[in-house]
């Protein structure tokens, strides 16, 4: 019998007047109207991609704040809306902080022991198997060290997460016990980053890609057991704070440093596509099945008129690739 693997989304409709009214109490209107909360009509195509390429998925959970996509068929027993108050203590609510939300994902009632976190801009692009995400009972991932520098966004937050990791785990011991995970040939040329980090006695940071992330529920439980006091303090941040937030990346970092993963190839796994880039590149990736998945990121487009133009072209492209309604739509 195959183990159940669930999918978890975090989602917000920033155009919702009720949500905006609530958000105004905690952030300037300019901030909650920014690109992070922009709803541009592509979410249903993510579900179509899951149905087409990962029909084995057990259940889909959407974490949201008293909202629901208007196209979602809630009569489908394979999908559930999870309100913030179901997983986050009332004293931290309302929250508009994606870090706080994802750090509590494991508290979803009925969530399977193995699950994959998606963002609403992450699509499957080719047939995938359970073993693309979990193998030997562990999440498929890669541990490639990558030095943090002060110039990167969220440096203080990520640096703080690495302090927790190095407080808990010994790098030398990890390499001794997980040599083939640290120096896996599956990492290709990227593995050289770890080789160059060998002179450093502590983990310097971990390379990440902007795509879906498989997790063990026990990882979240372990992190909360080890750093619960710090996580609770960070949870009071109603909006994201690059200086004091504990980032959701901590969960992945912990899972890696604990050796709870199976090495996987990095190349051709996913493609990050800023929609402000060359449209021919976006079209080429979406119309072929060269990558297992892609992320359509709209952060690079500030002009509303240009965004609307690109949005329409992109939706037309997604409609061509995923023309059939999924079972999750009304």
pLDDT (tens digit per residue) in 90-146: 999 999 999 999 999 999 999 999 999 999 999 999 999 999 999 999 999 999 999
Q: Which of these, 8, 155, 12, 148, lies nearest to 80 by C-alpha position?
A: 8
Q: In angstroms, what CA-CA distances link 159 with 61, 203, 224, 233? A: 30, 11, 18, 17
Which pLDDT band, with edges at 50, 70 and 90, does 83 fall under? very high
**Distance from C-alpha of 100 to C-alpha of 291, rounded to nearest angstrom:** 30
Portion of the chain with pLDDT greater than 90, in percent: 80
Q: In angstroms, what CA-CA distances link 246 with 45, 284, 313? A: 31, 37, 37
Residue 100's CATH number: 3.90.550.10
Instruction: Say what the pLDDT of residue 41 is.
Output: 87
Is the pLDDT reported for residue 278 higher than 90? no
330 in any annotated domain: no
* C-beta separation of 254 from 222 below 8 A: yes
Domain that holds residue 91: 5-321
Is the pLDDT reported for residue 40 higher than 60? yes
pLDDT (mean) for 288-302 = 84
Instruction: Say what the pLDDT of residue 172 is.
Output: 98
Instruction: Say what the pLDDT of residue 24 is.
Output: 87
Is the pLDDT reported for residue 237 higher than 90? yes
Is the pLDDT reported for residue 315 higher than 70? yes
Structural domains in the chain (count)? 1
329 in any annotated domain: no
**Distance from C-alpha of 178 to C-alpha of 169, rounded to nearest angstrom:** 13
Flag the least confident range among 24-33, 134-143, 247-256, 298-307.
Answer: 298-307
Is the pLDDT reported for residue 38 higher than 70? no
Is the pLDDT reported for residue 56 higher than 80? yes
Helices (H), 79-154: 84-87, 98-103
**Distance from C-alpha of 296 to C-alpha of 121, rounded to nearest angstrom:** 5
CB atoms under 10 Å from CB of 98, counted, come to: 18
Pull the structure tokens for residue 43. Answer: 């979410």
326 in any annotated domain: no
Instruction: Say what the pLDDT of residue 6 is.
Output: 99
Is the pLDDT reported for residue 301 higher than 70? no
295 in any annotated domain: yes
pLDDT (mean) for 284-300 = 89
Is the pLDDT reported for residue 180 higher than 80? yes
Is the pLDDT reported for residue 33 higher than 70? no
212 in any annotated domain: yes
Instruction: Say what the pLDDT of residue 35 is.
Output: 55
Is the pLDDT reported for residue 148 higher than 90? no
40 or 246, which is more confident: 246
Q: In angstroms, what CA-CA distances link 315 with 43, 122, 283, 289, 307? A: 10, 14, 11, 18, 12
Q: What is the DSSP string of 230-250?
A: HHHHHTT-SS--TTTPPPTHH
Instruction: Say what the pLDDT of residue 9 is.
Output: 98
Which pLDDT band, with edges at 50, 70 and 90, does 210 fall under? confident
Which pLDDT band, with edges at 50, 70 and 90, does 305 fall under? confident
Which pLDDT band, with edges at 50, 70 and 90, does 2 fall under? confident
Q: In angstroms, what CA-CA distances link 66 with 29, 43, 81, 107, 177? A: 20, 17, 9, 17, 46
Which pLDDT band, with edges at 50, 70 and 90, does 34 fall under? low
Report the relative pairing of strands 262-263 and 138-141 from DSSP bridges.
parallel
**Distance from C-alpha of 27 to C-alpha of 153, rounded to nearest angstrom:** 20
């Amino acid at each position: 019998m195959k183990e159940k693997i669930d999918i978890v989304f975090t989602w917000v409709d920033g155009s919702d007047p009720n949500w905006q009214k609530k958000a105004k109490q905690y952030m300037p209107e300019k901030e909650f109207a920014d690109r992070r909360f922009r709803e541009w009509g592509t979410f249903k195509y993510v579900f179509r991609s899951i149905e087409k390429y990962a029909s084995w998925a057990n259940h889909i959970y959407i974490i949201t704040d008293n909202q629901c996509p208007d196209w979602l068929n809630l009569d489908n027993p394979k999908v559930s809306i999870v309100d913030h108050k179901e997983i986050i203590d009332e004293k931290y609510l309302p929250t508009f902080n994606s870090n706080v939300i994802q750090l509590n994902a494991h508290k979803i009632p009925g969530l399977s022991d193995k699950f994959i976190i998606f963002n609403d801009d992450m699509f499957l692009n080719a047939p995938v198997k359970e073993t693309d995400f979990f193998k030997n009972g562990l999440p498929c991932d890669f541990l490639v060290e990558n030095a943090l520098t002060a110039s990167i966004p969220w440096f203080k937050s990520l640096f703080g997460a690495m302090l927790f990791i190095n407080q808990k785990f010994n790098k030398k011991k990890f390499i001794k016990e997980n040599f083939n995970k640290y120096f896996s040939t599956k990492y290709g040329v990227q593995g050289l980053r770890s080789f160059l980090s060998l002179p450093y006695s502590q983990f310097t940071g971990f390379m990440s890609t902007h795509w879906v992330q498989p997790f063990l529920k026990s990882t979240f439980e372990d992190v909360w057991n080890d750093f619960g006091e710090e996580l609770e303090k960070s949870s009071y941040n109603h909006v994201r704070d690059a200086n004091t937030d504990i980032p959701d990346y901590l969960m992945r970092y912990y899972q890696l440093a604990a050796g709870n993963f199976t090495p996987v190839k990095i190349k051709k796994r996913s493609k990050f596509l800023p929609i402000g880039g060359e449209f021919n590149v976006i079209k080429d990736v979406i119309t072929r099945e060269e990558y297992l998945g892609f992320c359509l990121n709209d952060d690079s487009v500030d002009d509303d008129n240009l965004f609307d133009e690109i949005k329409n072209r992109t939706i037309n492209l997604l409609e061509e690739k995923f023309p059939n309604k999924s079972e999750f739509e009304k």
